[in-house]
Amino acid sequence: MTHFQIPHATTIMALRARVKSWREEGLSVGFVPTMGALHAGHIALVQLARAHCDRVVTSIFVNPAQFAVGEDLDTYPRDLIDDAEQLSRVKCDLIFIPDAKLMYPDNFSTSISLTGAAAGLESDTRPHFFSGVATVVTKLLNQVRPDVAVFGEKDYQQLQVIRQLVADLDFGIDIVSGETVREKDGLALSSRNAYLDDDQRKRAAQLNVILKDFAQDLSKGMPAGKAQSKALKVAEDAFDSVDYLEVRCTDNLAELEDKPIQKPARVLAAIRLGKTRLIDNRAALPS
């Protein structure tokens, strides 16, 4: 990796030495954790971190703890050279590239259990997921020790889980969220979009439309249950299967009563096209 055009660290010691040198200069540090296969959505998060801090660290680590048996850990897109080139162009200051042995050494035996925002939605179909996410995020935040960490709104439940984690465990780190970046047809950018064939890619664009219509129905005063049933019927026709399509409270993702929304809400979905699973969400505001 010596040909990278950007400084990088593969050990915690090297990472902390670089961060320590910035601290000694009185500089603030932002952090963007990723699993690589970077796209414009990730780059927007790096730029957002730069807007908040003097220096930016981006990590690239495909976290095995958040994949279950049969999921796409082995086939998850990886292109470290391209990732480094993209980060260099936006003047990221350091890439942290740990390997699985560093993150989960022999006899590693700790995990984090969550409720609250982690209940339901992703947890219903991927019960292992948030424990794996929370454990690796905790490790990364402790390794980098940033002032600010930036996460995307596309993974909205994950964002809220991390907000809760950081508040509950007194990390003293500001969590900043970045808006979802979309293709021209509205499909949310995702590394997993690369799995879609041409027909699936066209069908995938309907997810954004369905969520927008769902949110608009709620904003017009349609009861939550009726709006959900309407959206679900369209989604079941459009996609191979629907893991969930729900409306939740914006802040804590609590379930809502079957009546017109009285406060900001979020509509969230996970759908499948062939072997590809896509998630997205939209805000819904009361009328």
Q: How many CB atoms lie within 10 A of CB 179?
A: 12
Residue ranges matching CATH 3.30.1300.10 in the chain:
191-284
Residue ranges matching CATH 3.40.50.620 in the chain:
8-178
Please tell me the CATH code under which domain 191-284 is placed.
Answer: 3.30.1300.10
Instruction: Report d(CA 59, CA 74) in Å as an integer.
Output: 19
> What pTM was computed for the model?
0.96
Contacts of 169 (CB under 8 A, 6+ apart): 138
Check residue 35 and give left, alpha or beta (phi > 0: left; psi -120 to 50: alpha): alpha
CA distances from 280 to 31, 38, 50, 128, 154 (A): 23, 18, 25, 20, 6
42 in active site: yes
Contacts of 116 (CB under 8 A, 6+ apart): 161, 164, 252, 253
Burial 253-276 (b: 16+ CB within 10 A, else e): beebeeebbeeebbbbbbbebeeb
- Report the Cα–Cα distance between both ends of the chain, in Å, rounded: 54
CATH of 8-178, one of 3.40.50.300, 1.20.1440.230, 3.40.50.620, 3.30.465.10: 3.40.50.620
- From first to last of its 287 residues, the chain has per-residue pLDDT tens of 446 779 999 999 999 999 999 999 999 999 999 999 999 999 999 999 999 999 999 999 999 999 998 899 999 999 999 999 999 999 999 999 999 999 999 999 999 999 999 999 999 999 999 999 999 999 999 999 999 999 999 999 999 999 999 999 999 999 999 999 999 999 999 999 999 999 999 999 999 999 999 999 999 999 999 999 999 999 999 999 999 999 999 999 999 999 999 999 999 999 999 999 999 999 999 98
pLDDT digits (tens, 9 = 90+) for 95-142: 999 999 999 999 999 999 999 999 999 999 999 999 999 999 999 999
pLDDT digits (tens, 9 = 90+) for 145-171: 999 999 999 999 999 999 999 999 999
Which is the catalytic residue, given 3, 8, 42, 52?
A: 42
